[in-house]
A and B are shown apart, each in its own frame.
Chain A
Amino acid sequence: MVVEAGQLALTFAFALSVLLAIVPLYGSFVANQRMLLLAKPLALGQFVFCLLAMLALIYAFRTSDFTVINVAQNSSSTLPWYYQITASFGSHEGSMLLWVLMLAGWTALVAQFSKALPLLLQGRILAILGIICVGFIAFSLFMSNPFARSLPFYPVEGRDLNPLLQDFGMILHPPTLYMGYVGFAVAFAFAIAALMSGRFDSVWARWVRPWALAAWLFLTLGIMLGSWWAYNELGWGGWWFWDPVENASFMPWLAGTALIHSLAVTEKRGTFKSWTVLLALAAFALSLVGAFLVRSGVLVSVHSFATDPGRGMYLLVFLLLVVGGSLLLYARRMNSVRSQARYQLFSREMLLWGNNIFLLTACLIVFLGTLFPLFHKELGLGSISIGEPFFNQMFYYLTIPFALMLGLGPWVRWKQQQVAPLIKPFSLLVLAALTLALGVMATMQSVQANLALIGLLLGAWVGISALAEVALRIRQFGSVSKGITKLNASHYGMTLAHIGFAVLVVGVAMTKTYTTERDVRMQEGDTANVAGYDFTLTDVYELDGANFGGQAAELDVRKDGQYVTHLHAEKRFYRIQRTIMTESAVHARLSRDLYVSLGEELPGDAWAMRIQVKPFVRWIWLGGLLMSFGALLALADKRYRRKVMPTLQTGEADA
């Protein structure tokens, strides 16, 4: 019953989305206020019905209704209750419903918080979001129905949730990531609505900024959680694999990062308009590319869902329609937009423009590296794979100039900056960065020219420069106590995000350089020395869990004879899915992780063990967290919440 109700709710949501896509848009062309006013209730109603559908699906999972194919394939009655809930978005069908719910959620949020917008613009934005909703709800309803039943024959027990997904990180990772992906739909809708009315100014940029920032915040958090999850759950201590699906989430992130920087220029200086619009279109288009790559089965990866050419075709057509339609509109309208502002070669505008160039180059590299094997194969040139070294090498070359510019950026004035006044502070900054980086290297007793040194130098440069800049701004208000409260929340947000980037760079460089990894053969009582730590295998025994069996190993870790910690690593065998999972043991500190995974059993009562010491690996996720917090702070800025925008008019010309 509840399942049918869920199906019905999704059908209603579909009907409402069709109305939302048509009525306000038509109303905006015939200047019918009642039609425009209808957008808000339609958007809210659509969200409510999507929510009901999701709740019905969760109910089916909680009650283990195995007549529903989706439940039977992705859950079991022995699964703990919280994983039964997360299993509702563990499959393609369920995650698509979650995606739809998020999209409807963003639409409802826009409807709720866009009172300050002119009615015409508001109606158009919601209608465009409605069009996107139609595409995705139809996909969920007709191509991948999460409520499909297998009556009259159904299994008595489900096939269980993929053990990889039975992890805390999995509860958080997909919803945050989807919030980010789908969030860029809002910036997209704003861009299209602006293209229709031909109005781009600082006011428009100020409207879009918080939405773009919010989407970016979720995407950053989602990617970071995914990396953390992979580190803990895939069992071998990697935190980024350049896997096609990771790349699929990284591309919109790069475009989104470029977008929030370009929006800053559009808001403050009224220039970069066409560029900003293009980035808003690109960020969402790349999210769609991501959805297509993951769900069509064209690429093989850990993440990809079951292959179905029909679904892939649908998403491809939808993608082409959205991208083609928006680019066509862009080409027709953007000619008339001119930026008035002038700026010199050495100015903040130019530096932010450089930031965008580098971010988009990075995006292009990821795009090529991800899709090149696909084209290669389709052209009949044989199967190939692009190795990690390609990405690593390219990002190495990109990050150095990017970080150098980033340290410079916030100091440089808009329009024009004289070089002379910056020479003194920057000599000090360079000196401080050098001292800090070499100092850290010295305490680790390995001063040499390597990746770690470069990472530390760049990190120190960006971090110190960001801190010094914010200190300078605070002092400009006269007194420190006054300055701290006077400075915009968004300025603090920017500083925090830049420091986050510095922390991330240091983490990546240090981990890449100083990770010690050893695969060893160990019997009980054996000791392996890795990077100064003595790992002693004290015990190996059989496991007996709720839905898994397997083995567990106990290790004691000592350094120079001093006891450090006790580690417990498992190798689980999930009975229903007949899958083996490596549950690694991690001892985390800010300066290093100790990471042990239990490998296979070897002849002669021995075990294969992978032991790793990974310095500064926590800094990678800490950096991501700081960036997200930075975005959150920036969102709290007062100027986004002003009730009445001074320059708006309600009815604007449709030009």
Chain B
Amino acid sequence: MQPRRQKRLFAVLLVIGLLTGAVAAMLYALQQNIDLFYTPSQLVDGLGKDKVKPQPGQRLRIGGMVVKGSVKRDPDSLKVSFDLVDTGPLVTVIYEGILPDLFREGQGIVAQGVMLDATTIAATEVLAKHDEEYMPPEVAEALKGIRHVPPSQQQSSAQQSGTEAKPAEGRY
């Protein structure tokens, strides 16, 4: 081969090699960092047609309404626990840190964290949208057909639909 052709071939091979490496690394990193979103009932009953339940230790996001009266604080630290609900069972979220400004009972929130057991999440981050009437869109979808009562009207749909669920335990 001519030297110039050889060089060009080398350059092309180098680029293809780099690209393959980059894409592989990217897909691997992407796979490690996907957090599936669950609502409390999806977490307990499983997600989708196959009812896939998350494993303890799995990173995930959970979104739901904070159950009235379920927020429990540790008197000496910033540890807090509260229950989330959508249409069915309750899921307890434990968290240490500052809750967002708009965190309130009866309000929709999203928590990012790790699953501890079937109904407990250890959150690393709690998010509430900067809007009083906010409900996470995924929760709104799950609640389809159930009327969302804004917190300003002092009655949460969460409380009504969550009556038969287990009572909130005081854990941190």
* Interface flags, A134-175, vs B, CB<8A=1, else 0: 000000000000000000000000000010100000000000
Contacts of A386 in B (CB 8 A): 30, 33-35
Shortest beta-carbon distance, A531 to chain B, in Å? 18
13 new A-B pairs (CB below 8 Å) besides A368-B26, A393-B33, A603-B73? Answer: A302-B130, A384-B37, A385-B37, A387-B59, A387-B112, A389-B32, A521-B76, A579-B130, A579-B131, A580-B102, A600-B98, A600-B99, A603-B75
CB-based nearest B residue for A517: B97
Q: If A519-B96, A603-B73 touch, does A383 touch B36 (CB 8 Å cutoff)?
A: yes
Shortest beta-carbon distance, B68 to chain A, in Å? 17
Q: If A357-B18, A361-B22, A521-B77 touch, does A300 touch B137 (CB 8 Å cutoff)?
A: yes
12 A-B pairs (CB sep. < 8 Å): A357-B15, A372-B30, A382-B48, A383-B37, A383-B138, A385-B35, A386-B30, A389-B33, A521-B78, A581-B101, A600-B98, A603-B73
Tell me what chain A mostly uses at the interface: helix, strand, loop, or mixed.
Answer: mixed
Indicate whether A571 reaches chain B with its CB closer than 8 angstroms: yes
The tally of residues in A whose CB lies under 8 Å from a CB in B reads 43
- Residue in B33, B77, B102 whose CB lies within 8 Å of A387: B33
| Chain A positions near chain B (C-beta within 8 angstroms) | 162, 164, 235, 300, 302, 344-345, 350, 357, 361, 365, 368-369, 372, 382-387, 389-390, 393-394, 397, 519-521, 571, 578-582, 597, 599-600, 602-604, 608-610
Contact A390 B29 (CB under 8 A): yes
CB-based nearest A residue for B10: A345
Contact A520 B101 (CB under 8 A): no
Contacts of B61 in A (CB 8 A): 383, 385
Give bound CA distance, A384 to B58, whole Å: 13
* Interface flags, B55-76, vs A, CB<8A=1, else 0: 0000101000000000001011
Q: If A365-B26, A385-B37, A520-B78 touch, does A390 touch B7 (CB 8 Å cutoff)?
A: no
Shortest beta-carbon distance, B22 to chain A, in Å? 6
Contacts of B98 in A (CB 8 A): 519, 597, 599-600, 608-610
Shortest beta-carbon distance, A619 to chain B, in Å? 26
Contact B47 A382 (CB under 8 A): yes
Indicate whether B146 reaches chain A with its CB closer than 8 angstroms: no
CB-based nearest A residue for B18: A357
Give bound CA distance, A521 to B96, whole Å: 11
CB-based nearest B residue for A519: B97
Contact B11 A582 (CB under 8 A): no
Shortest beta-carbon distance, A480 to chain B, in Å? 39
Give bound CA distance, A57 to B78, whole Å: 47
Contact B78 A387 (CB under 8 A): no
CB-based nearest B residue for A606: B75
Shortest beta-carbon distance, B102 to chain A, in Å? 6
Give bound CA distance, A235 to B98, whole Å: 12
Contacting residues of chain B (68-111) with chain A, CB-CB under 8 angstroms: 73, 75-78, 96-99, 101-103
CB-based nearest B residue for A372: B30
Contact A394 B29 (CB under 8 A): yes
Contacts of A579 in B (CB 8 A): 102, 130-132
Contacting residues of chain B (1-39) with chain A, CB-CB under 8 angstroms: 7, 10-11, 15, 18, 22, 25-26, 29-30, 32-37
Give bound CA distance, A383 to B48, whole Å: 11
Contact A384 B26 (CB under 8 A): no
Give bound CA distance, A110 to B22, whole Å: 40
Give bound CA distance, A232 to B36, whole Å: 31
Contacts of A581 in B (CB 8 A): 101
The tally of residues in B whose CB lies under 8 Å from a CB in A reads 40
Contacts of A361 in B (CB 8 A): 22
Task: Please report the number of residue pairs spanning A and B whose Cβ atoms sit closer than 8 angstroms.
Answer: 95
Contacts of B112 in A (CB 8 A): 385, 387
Shortest beta-carbon distance, B157 to chain A, in Å? 20
Contacting residues of chain B (95-141) with chain A, CB-CB under 8 angstroms: 96-99, 101-103, 112, 129-132, 137-138
Give bound CA distance, A400 to B1, whole Å: 35
Contacts of A300 in B (CB 8 A): 137
Shortest beta-carbon distance, A554 to chain B, in Å? 19
CB-based nearest A residue for B33: A390
CB-based nearest A residue for B141: A383
Contact B78 A345 (CB under 8 A): no
Q: If A369-B30, A382-B37, A600-B99 touch, does A608 touch B78 (CB 8 Å cutoff)?
A: yes
Shortest beta-carbon distance, B100 to chain A, in Å? 9
Contacts of A600 in B (CB 8 A): 98-99, 101, 103
Interface centre among B18, B29, B73, B102 (most CB of A within 10 A): B29
Give bound CA distance, A350 to B75, whole Å: 63
Contact A599 B35 (CB under 8 A): no
Contacts of A610 in B (CB 8 A): 97-98
Contacts of B102 in A (CB 8 A): 579-580
Contact A384 B18 (CB under 8 A): no
Shortest beta-carbon distance, B139 to chain A, in Å? 10
Contacting residues of chain B (122-167) with chain A, CB-CB under 8 angstroms: 129-132, 137-138, 152
Contact A384 B130 (CB under 8 A): no
The 7 nearest A-B residue pairs measured at CB: A383-B37, A390-B33, A599-B98, A580-B101, A387-B33, A519-B97, A608-B98
Q: If A300-B137, A345-B7, A345-B11 touch, does A382 touch B36 (CB 8 Å cutoff)?
A: yes
Q: If A300-B137, A393-B29 touch, does A571 touch B101 (CB 8 Å cutoff)?
A: yes
Contacts of A383 in B (CB 8 A): 36-37, 61, 138
Contacts of B30 in A (CB 8 A): 368-369, 372, 386, 390
Shortest beta-carbon distance, B110 to chain A, in Å? 9
Give bound CA distance, A609 to B138, whole Å: 31
Q: If A357-B15, A394-B26 touch, does A384 touch B99 (CB 8 Å cutoff)?
A: no
Give bound CA distance, A412 to B36, whole Å: 48
Contact B75 A578 (CB under 8 A): no
Give bound CA distance, A397 to B129, whole Å: 32
Shortest beta-carbon distance, A301 to chain B, in Å? 10
CB-based nearest B residue for A581: B101
Contacts of B11 in A (CB 8 A): 345, 350
Shortest beta-carbon distance, A92 to chain B, in Å? 15
Contacts of A521 in B (CB 8 A): 76-78
Give bound CA distance, A571 to B98, whole Å: 13
Give bound CA distance, A164 to B101, whole Å: 13
Contacts of A571 in B (CB 8 A): 101
CB-based nearest A residue for B49: A380
Give bound CA distance, A528 to B30, whole Å: 39
Contacts of B36 in A (CB 8 A): 382-384
Contacts of B97 in A (CB 8 A): 519, 610
Give bound CA distance, A252 to B102, whole Å: 33
Give bound CA distance, A519 to B73, whole Å: 14
Give bound CA distance, A285 to B105, whole Å: 44
Contacts of A235 in B (CB 8 A): 101
Contacts of B32 in A (CB 8 A): 389-390
Contacts of A302 in B (CB 8 A): 129-130
Contacts of A582 in B (CB 8 A): 101
Give bound CA distance, A345 to B13, whole Å: 13
Give bound CA distance, A406 to B132, whole Å: 47
Contacts of B152 in A (CB 8 A): 578
Give bound CA distance, A571 to B99, whole Å: 13
